[in-house]
Amino acid sequence: MPTMSSTTTHLLYLHGFRSSPRSAKAQIMARHVAAAHPAVQWWAPQLPPSPGEAMEMVMSGIRDWPLGSMAVVGSSLGGFYATHVAATTSCRAVLLNPAVHPARDLARYIGDQTQWHAPEEHFYFKAEYIDELRALEVGALPHPERCLSIVAKGDEVLDWNEMVARYPGIRIKLLEGGDHALSDFEVAHLRDAVDFLHLA
């Protein structure tokens, strides 16, 4: 188990389903890290549709990162991926309306899909991706104290009760309203995420 550093020097951001590093939250965090924490290594990859390939890309990309001073932020499906990363590396994690049962919820999206931020870009979500999602499921996080989840009761896509129940023992910021995108992320939640991550 890596010894936790007091600061985060390497930060990974994982976007959600049909999303990209061009999402509002990813861009907000990227700008903040560049402006306020230029020493932090930032990586927000464009994840392939295949969950297996996505996780292979992520784990390969962080292979040489210092586990004691890295952290991950994940939104929606990216929160599910970030949970896998946190369980594997014991790093700090911030989960933003994380997907809890993507193998169940994404089964209805098998077929041709478009990207939210580039509707002209298509990809095909294959049936076998559901099994790949199941293969990435992990149990309770080994270090729940290293995880913060920001959950909106007003999430129109995911059930906030499931999001809260999935992560016993972690720090949860539960919003009475809000939405799946956490549209007020910059003004209301960025500081909480950054403070929890202890960025260098």
Summarised one tens digit per residue, pLDDT across range 93-144 is: 999 999 999 999 999 999 999 877 778 888 889 999 999 999 999 999 999 9
Superfamily of domain 10-197: Alpha/Beta hydrolase fold, catalytic domain (3.40.50.1820)
Encoded tokens for 55: 């996780």
Given a contact cutoff of 8 angstroms between Cβ atoms, the answer to whether 88 and 28 are in contact is no
Domains of the chain, by residue range, sit at 10-197
Looking from the CA of 108 toward its CB, the CA atoms found within 13 Å total 3
Q: pLDDT tens-digit profile of 8-46?
A: 999 999 999 999 999 999 999 999 999 999 999 999 999
The residues facing 73 across adjacent strands are 13, 94
**Contacts with 108 (C-beta within 8 Å, 6 or more apart), sequence order:** none
Q: So what's the pLDDT on residue 5?
A: 67
Given a contact cutoff of 8 angstroms between Cβ atoms, the answer to whether 76 and 17 are in contact is yes
